[in-house]
Amino acid sequence: MDVREKPDLEQLTSEVLDKIYRSTSRQNPYSIATLNSYLYLKEEEIQKIITLIESIRYQLKPEEIISYVVKQ
């Protein structure tokens, strides 16, 4: 496996956090974990929207914009 094919540390961290937040909200649906997971997912959504707006602002190509939004 080539070094370029390996995911970076930020991507791995994001994937692990996503898994943790989703699993805790499913395991404990009536606890504060559900609210915490909801806020985390909303924060991720807001970050994608900001990335999209900034990409449009800097007049990037649609392919680049999609790659930035999907990458997050």
User: What is this structure's pTM?
Assistant: 0.77
Q: What pLDDT, in 10s, does the model give residues 26-40?
A: 998 899 999 999 999
- What are the residue ranges spanned by the domains of the chain? 8-71
| 8 Å CB contact between 20 and 40 | no
Q: What pLDDT, in 10s, does the model give residues 5-56?
A: 667 888 899 899 999 999 998 998 899 999 999 999 999 999 999 999 999 9
